[in-house]
Structure 1
Amino acid sequence: MRVYIAGSGAMGCRFGHSLSKTDHEVILLDNWEDHIQAIRENGLKVTGDFDETVKLPIMKPTEAVEVADLIILLTKADQLPKMLQDIKGIIGEQTKVLSLLNGLGHATTMRRYVPDESIMVGVTIWLAGLKGPGHAHLEGPGSIFLQNMSGDGQAVAHIVDMFNQAGLNATYDENVIESIWRKACVNGVMNPTCTIMDCTIGELFGTEGGLNLVQGIFKEFIAVARAEVGNIDEEGIWKYIMETSKKASHHYPSMHQDLIQHGRKTEIDYLNGAVVFKGKRVGISTPYCQMMTDMVHAKEAMLGLR
């Protein structure tokens, strides 16, 4: 298969590195000039669980011309419409397009550019960070849960197999929307809090005040998720959050990496902000999520990002 990774930041590099170990053609797409140049000249440097450099082709999205068999979307949420517009020429009749973006509501955006039968959605809990242009730091175990929106799991079994050949621990999940809500809940309680308080996940969960804040945000996510998708495993998601807080205790979440470390706009509107929006539609009050959204927006404004 010809596989494009649309958005080759930290997670895109994680997937590019893993898929480079298979016999499929893997192409990175990104718009960061220094990153593109570093990978073209020196290859993708990987540290952490691995210490190696792999050669991968990389180009700007508008430079891609050969039709894809699979496109893996790993952009930032607010960059998704432009990415889909830029790569529309490589989306053929048989192309599958998989969104693994953080946050909520991306299938709605995809439907403007991709037919329903070509859309896949999923969630990944792999961790990754960028140390600089062309340098990814990869640590810890992870997994992928995905679903074909047409409902035909057999039609994408070869894609699940490819991910597993690459060691990415993929599972076809007929109820992936709940998994997406679970991941959004994890990000919603960890990302803005660690960003505003400039702390690791372990530091946040290691204080009584931090844990109280996490619990308040969590309850709002669960209430809105239950209103949208019906039955949801509140106890299981809370257990998962606590397990994740231990496994990733030394980790700064992606929103902290974006805003504090690199001065980039965040995905808050697709996490806590989305919960505020959805909550208003169904009459659920979300003061914790509103506060987190306002605080992150305020920080973005202070840095000249809004």
Structure 2
Amino acid sequence: MKIKKVSIIGLGALGILFGHHLSKKMPNADLRIIADAARIKRYEQDHVYCNDEQCVFNYLTPDERVEPADLLIFTVKYDGLKDAIQAVKNHVGEQTIILSALNGISSEAIIGQTYGMENILYCVAQGMDAVKEGNQLTYDNMGMLCFGDWESGVVTENAERVAAFFEEIDFPYEIDQNMGKRQWGKFMLNVGVNQTVAVYEGNYGEVQSEGQARETMIAAMKEVIAISEKEGIHLTETDLDYWLRVLATLNSEGKPSMAQDMEARRFSEIELFAGTVLKLGEKYGVSTPINKKLYDRVTEMESQF
């Protein structure tokens, strides 16, 4: 079954990035951006821009009855996931494939509690350096979506359907046959990069070059490696080196989402990163002092909002 209709919920950096690309490759009516009426009014009045080009999107409210999507993509922030799951109900059918591009290691399971795990592919968004300020998104590197099944060595029909669609629309992707390790690896990178750049109030360049910030980032990542052993994921120094190479490809002037949130005085995803590390560290008796320092500093900074 060919993918023709795509729905996206969440018009942050990734939602704009993906949506803008798809809007150039698909009939307008087949790409649906799901948002509440107030957001749609704002988007239509102020417009949304991607690299200075106005995006032309087909907006639908959650209550509108539509033909189910062939592919549904979640690009909301973690604190908006619960509401988003309810908002997409009219877009989910028996054949709808679901991708979640959220940070962290838990969104697929949360979505699966409502819609089942049968048509959910595990997914990681990586390599993009998009920066969103107001209604303007800019990026140098689009990055890619990596997706697949949790079970190692398996490529399902759903994964093949998504790959065929992405080939057709020239969307960068990779099928990974060990998504457990890939997702934990991206989580490790986020724990290091997002929190460190936010605390040091810098940009990617600060952690791409040698210095205290980079040392802090790597130390935080190594705490995730230790926890991954207890979870049966078994990240290694080789995985750390891979994600550091991914980091090296990003625009040095860019900033991760957490740093952007802090600058805009929005509450961050600290609970998703250090918060998760601290809970798992306590569970397994693994020491996590660097993540504790980052957690405490971000919490202190947020208390000034």
Of 45, 48, 51, which residue of structure 1 is paired with 2:49?
45
Q: Which residue of 2 aligns with 1:302?
A: 304
Q: Which residue of 1 aligns with 2:58?
A: 57
Cα pair distance change 1:88/1:246, threshold 3 Å: closer
Q: Are 1:26 and 2:15 counterparts?
A: no
Q: Within 2, Cα distance between the matches of 1:292 and 1:63?
A: 43
Q: Which residue of 2 aligns with 1:293?
A: 295
Residues 17-52 of structure 1, C-alpha deviations (whole Å, 9 max, x = no match): 111132351111235946x335435754221xxx53
Q: Which residue of 2 aligns with 1:199?
A: 202
Of 173, 177, 185, which residue of structure 2 is paired with 1:174?
177
Cα pair distance change 1:64/1:264, threshold 3 Å: farther
Of 273, 294, 299, which residue of structure 1 is paired with 2:275?
273
Q: Which residue of 1 aligns with 2:96?
A: 95
Residues 91-142 of structure 1, C-alpha deviations (whole Å, 9 max, x = no match): 1111111111111211221122111112112001123222322x32132141
Residues 257-300 of structure 1, C-alpha deviations (whole Å, 9 max, x = no match): 1121x222211211221111112212111111122122212222
**SS of 1:257's equivalent?**
helix
Counterpart contact for 2:197–2:207, Cα < 8 Å? yes
Q: Within 1, Cα distance between the matches of 2:155 and 2:209?
A: 44
Matches within 5 A, 1:18-167: 18-23=21-26, 25-31=30-36, 33=38, 36-37=40-41, 39-41=43-45, 44-47=48-51, 51-63=52-64, 65-125=66-126, 126-133=128-135, 135-148=136-149, 153-167=156-170
Cα pair distance change 1:45/1:243, threshold 3 Å: closer
**SS of 2:303's equivalent?**
helix
Q: Which amino acid aligns with 1:256?
A: A
Q: Which amino acid aligns with 2:282?
A: K
Counterpart contact for 1:40–1:58, Cα < 8 Å? no
- Report how far residue 62 of structure 1 moved: 4.3
For these two proteins, the number of residue pairs brought into alignment is 297
Q: Within 2, Cα distance between the matches of 1:69 and 1:282?
A: 40
Q: Within 1, Cα distance between the matches of 2:158 and 2:235?
A: 27
Cα pair distance change 1:229/1:163, threshold 3 Å: farther
Q: Within 2, Cα distance between the matches of 1:242 and 1:121?
A: 22
- Report how far residue 66 of structure 1 moved: 3.6
How high is the sequence identity, in percent, across the aligned residues?
26
Q: Which residue of 2 aligns with 1:217?
A: 220
Residues 175-218 of structure 1, C-alpha deviations (whole Å, 9 max, x = no match): 11211111111111111111122111212443522122122102
Cα pair distance change 1:130/1:211, threshold 3 Å: closer
Counterpart contact for 1:39–1:55, Cα < 8 Å? no
Q: Within 2, Cα distance between the matches of 1:128 and 1:61?
A: 27
Matches within 5 A, 1:5-24: 5-23=8-26
Counterpart contact for 2:221–2:240, Cα < 8 Å? no
Counterpart contact for 1:202–1:250, Cα < 8 Å? yes
Q: Are 1:226 and 2:229 counterparts?
A: yes
TM-score, with structure 1 as normaliser: 0.88
Q: Which amino acid aligns with 1:73?
A: F
**SS of 2:118's equivalent?**
helix
Q: Which amino acid aligns with 1:173?
A: D
Instruction: Report the aligned-residue RMSD.
Output: 2.3
**SS of 2:266's equivalent?**
coil
- Report how far residue 148 of structure 1 moved: 4.0
Counterpart contact for 1:64–1:87, Cα < 8 Å? no
Cα pair distance change 1:168/1:225, threshold 3 Å: farther
